[in-house]
Each structure stands twice: as structure tokens, then as C-alpha cells.
């Protein structure tokens, strides 16, 4: 099968022909249809995670996935050939078989679920990791109707979902975005205000909410400076820290978010998409043989998600 692989640490990842995996015990084999690019894919490709995770070359890159069940391994329950499924590849050590490929063998639980009616492969393929991080960050700060929530990194994949999920709870979203297309983008997702993160973010937020914001979602930027914009007793959730001690904010509750794309979370996200309440903002779609370009585009800056289509 064709796969986008890292052959060693010396070369750029490339498209290669490698053996098609089989569904092992407890696994399903997925015929891939769609995926998306996440920062961790670039981190794995660059070798930045060397030392933390072992690499078993060739490493097939890719974490999000959507496709059709092709085969079910012994002992795997809950799925049958032909089911439309999506999910997230966990990070087993050593890293080897991931999703930027024509086929993917993954455990049938806990990071796999069915795609509901009305959700296409492209939408499901960009939902798993970024959606889970966003939903769990929003849950961590539990925005209430009428509160103000600053989303820093609102133009990225995680942020684009978080803006929508926060606005849906009746909170007023202040989203970081450059004026123009980016500001239009976050307003379309439900933000009440855009603040230009290339300028004085604190000054702009204070103009909108002189007393501060009740919550901050930290997906980019200087978390400590953002924390100073909280009202006393405010909440901050960050995907950029491993533990709350890394971002001490006096008089606030800080949560570190490590996305857990379990079945319940994936189902909640997919139900929101199916109901038309959550958009999957795809900026651009890349075929399997153009993922190198997708990586370059991701590194240069994104608005929403970069999708991968596998045919
Ligand atoms: N802990 C976890 O489980 C987990 C899971 C998923 C993601 N993450 C992390 O969460 C972060 C967000 O992920 P993502 O997939 O959304 O990344 P992304 O798509 O690269 O989004 C980041 C966004 O933030 C913008 N930005 C850059 N500097 C900024 C600043 N100073 N203030 C406000 N916005 C700024 C970027 O704009 P430009 O494009 O203009 O630079 C980009 O739109 C990443 O660091 C990622 O590694 C963690």
C-alpha cells in the first residue's frame, strides 16, 4: 500500500510502498478515506520526540483517521466490515503504523467509533484530536452563559472548534485573529470579538471587558500574560502545559489539557457535527502524495484544519 512515511531521522518524510497491515487480535483494519494534519505529526516527523518515544522505521505518520472497516481481528467486538468509522491513533511506543496510508490497523477500543449519518469522511477525518482537545478544554473551564471567554489560538484547528463549543454555551467569545479574513473566520464560528494577536492583546481585551474575562482557553501565545486578564477566581485551560504548576496564575484555577479522544468524546463531537451545530473548518485538502506540502502549509500557519484525502 501507499503510505507517507519517515524512513529515518536524516531524510524528509516521503510517500513509499510498504506492506498492507492486517487486523491483529482486538484490532480492526480500516480502509482509509480521510485524515488531517496535527502539530504532533510534524513533531514526530522532525524527530523532536526522539528520546521520549521510540521509532520503529519506517514510521507511517498521521494521527487522525476516517474510513471504512475492511476486516475485524479476532476478539475485536462492536464493528463489522463496511462500518464507517473515525478516531485517533494513540501513541504506542515504538511508533510505527499510523494513519497517512491506504490502510490502518487500530485497536477497536478506546479511540474508535462509528461515523453518524450526515457526517462525511472529510469532516470526520479532521475532528478527532483537535476536537477532543477543544471539547476537553471547554469542559475544563465550563463557560456559563453571559461569561466572557478569551480563546487564544482561535484561528488554529483546536481553537476553531473551541470558539464554536464555547459560543454554543452562551458565553461571549473574544478570539485572537488578525484583522480581515481571520477576524471574519472567527466571527463566522461564533466569536463576538476578534483581538489582533500581533498587537497589544491585553489592551484590546481590557477595552472589551475592563474587569477581565471569566475564562481563558490557551492554545497559543503567552499563557502567563493571558492569565493576568482573568477576573479573580477565573479559569484557564491550556493544551500547551503538562501540568498546572507550569503556569501559576494567582487567584485562578489552571487546568492542563491532554486530549483524550475516547469513544464518548468522539461520539459527542460527531453528534454536534451531525446536528449542524459544529462546523469542521477545512482550509485546504491534500492528497496522500502531497502531505509534504500540507506539513509546510501547517508550519507556515493555518486557519482551521488541513485535511488529507485518501482514495
Ligand atoms: N495537549 C494536547 O493533547 C494537544 C492536542 C492538540 C493540540 N495541542 C497543541 O495545542 C496547540 C494548538 O493546536 P492546533 O492544532 O490548533 O495548532 P495550529 O492549528 O497551529 O493553531 C495555532 C493557531 O494559533 C495562532 N497563533 C500563533 N501565535 C499566536 C499568538 N501569539 N496568539 C494567538 N494566536 C496565535 C496561529 O496563527 P498563525 O497561523 O498565524 O501562526 C494558529 O492559527 C498546539 O501547540 C498543539 O501542539 C495539544
pLDDT at residue 141, rounded to an integer: 98
Residue minimizing CA distance to atom 24 of ligand 1: 153
C-alpha–C-alpha distance, residues 285 and 178, integer Å? 23
155 in ligand 1 pocket by Cβ < 6 Å? yes
pLDDT at residue 91, rounded to an integer: 80
State the distance from the centre of ligand 1 to the C-alpha of 198, rounded, in angstroms: 14
36 in ligand 1 pocket by Cβ < 6 Å? no
pLDDT at residue 51, rounded to an integer: 87
Q: Which residues contact 165 (CB under 8 A, 6 or more apart)?
A: 134, 135, 138, 272, 278
175 in ligand 1 pocket by Cβ < 6 Å? no
C-alpha–C-alpha distance, residues 135 and 161, integer Å? 8
Ligand 1 atom nearest to 152, measured from its CA = 33
Residue minimizing CA distance to atom 19 of ligand 1: 156
Which stretch of DSSP H or E encloses residue 124? helix 121-125
Give the chain's radius of gyration (CA, Å): 20
> What cell was used for 218?
490557551
Whether the Cβ atoms of residue 20 and residue 298 lie closer than 8 Å to each other = no
Q: Each residue's pLDDT tens digit in the chain (311 positions)?
A: 999 999 999 999 999 999 999 999 999 999 999 999 999 999 999 999 898 899 999 999 999 999 999 999 999 999 999 999 999 999 877 888 899 999 999 999 999 999 999 999 999 999 999 999 999 999 999 999 999 999 999 999 999 999 999 999 999 999 999 999 999 999 999 999 999 999 999 999 999 999 999 999 999 999 999 999 999 999 999 999 999 999 999 999 999 999 999 999 999 999 999 999 999 999 999 999 999 999 999 999 999 999 999 98
Q: What is the Cα 269 distance to its own chain's centre?
A: 12
C-alpha–C-alpha distance, residues 77 and 67, integer Å? 17
197 in ligand 1 pocket by Cβ < 6 Å? yes
C-alpha–C-alpha distance, residues 304 and 282, integer Å? 6
Please tell me what DSSP assigns to residue 277.
S
Q: What is the 3 state secondary structure string of 28-89?
A: EEEEEEEEECCHHHHHHHHCCCECCECECCCEECCCEEEEEEEEECCCCCCCCCCCEEEEEC
Among 62, 154, 115, smallest CA distance to 270 is for 115
Residue minimizing CA distance to atom 34 of ligand 1: 153
What the chain holds in terms of domains, given with CATH numbers, is: 2-127+280-309 (3.90.180.10), 130-256 (3.40.50.720)
Please tell me what DSSP assigns to residue 262.
-
Measured from the Cβ of residue 240, the count of other Cβ atoms closer than 10 Å reads 15
pLDDT at residue 97, rounded to an integer: 87
Peptide bond into 107 cis (omega under 30): no
Residue minimizing CA distance to atom 48 of ligand 1: 239
Among 76, 45, 78, 48, smallest CA distance to 63 is for 45
Residue minimizing CA distance to atom 25 of ligand 1: 153
Beta 2-6 vs 59-60: how paired, if at all? Answer: antiparallel
| pLDDT, tens digit, 9 for 90 and up, residues 205-247 | 999 999 999 999 999 999 999 999 999 999 999 999 999 999 9
pLDDT at residue 38, rounded to an integer: 98
Amino acid at each position: 500500500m501507499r503510505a507517507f512515511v519517515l524512513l529515518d531521522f536524516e531524510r524528509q518524510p516521503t510517500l513509499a510502498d510498504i506492506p498492507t497491515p492486517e487486523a491483529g487480535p482486538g484490532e480492526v483494519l480500516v480502509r482509509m478515506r480521510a485524515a488531517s494534519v496535527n502539530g504532533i505529526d510534524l513533531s514526530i516527523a522532525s524527530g523532536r520526540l526522539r528520546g521520549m518515544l521510540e521509532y520503529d522505521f519506517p514510521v507511517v505518520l498521521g494521527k487522525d483517521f476516517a474510513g471504512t472497516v475492511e476486516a475485524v481481528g479476532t476478539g475485536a467486538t462492536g464493528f463489522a466490515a463496511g462500518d464507517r468509522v473515525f478516531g485517533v491513533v494513540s501513541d504506542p511506543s515504538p511508533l510505527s503504523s499510523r494513519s497517512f496510508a491506504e490502510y490502518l490497523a487500530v485497536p477497536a477500543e478506546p479511540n474508535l467509533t462509528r461515523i453518524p449519518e450526515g457526517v462525511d469522511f472529510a469532516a470526520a477525518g479532521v475532528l478527532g484530536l483537535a476536537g477532543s482537545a477543544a471539547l476537553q478544554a471547554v469542559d475544563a473551564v465550563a463557560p456559563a452563559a453571559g461569561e466572557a471567554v478569551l480563546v487564544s489560538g482561535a484561528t488554529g484547528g483546536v481553537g476553531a472548534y473551541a470558539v464554536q463549543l464555547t459560543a454554543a454555551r452562551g458565553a461571549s467569545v473574544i478570539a485572537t485573529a488578525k484583522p480581515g479574513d481571520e477576524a471574519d473566520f472567527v466571527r463566522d464560528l461564533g466569536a463576538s470579538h476578534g483581538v489582533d494577536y500581533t498587537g497589544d492583546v491585553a489592551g484590546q481585551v481590557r477595552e472589551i471587558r475592563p474587569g477581565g474575562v471569566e475564562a481563558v482557553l490557551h492554545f497559543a501565545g503567552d499563557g502567563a500574560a493571558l492569565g493576568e486578564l482573568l477576573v479573580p477566581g477565573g479559569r484557564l485551560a491550556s493544551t500547551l502545559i503538562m501540568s498546572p504548576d507550569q503556569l501559576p496564575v494567582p487567584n485562578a484555577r489552571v487546568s492542563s489539557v491532554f486530549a483524550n479522544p475516547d469513544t464518548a468524546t468522539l461520539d459527542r463531537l460527531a453528534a454536534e457535527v451531525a446536528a449542524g451545530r459544529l462546523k469542521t473548518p477545512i482550509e485546504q485538502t491534500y492528497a496522500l502524495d502531497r502531505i509534504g506540502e500540507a506539513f509546510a502549509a501547517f508550519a507556515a500557519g493555518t486557519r482551521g484544519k488541513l485535511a488529507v484525502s485518501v482514495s
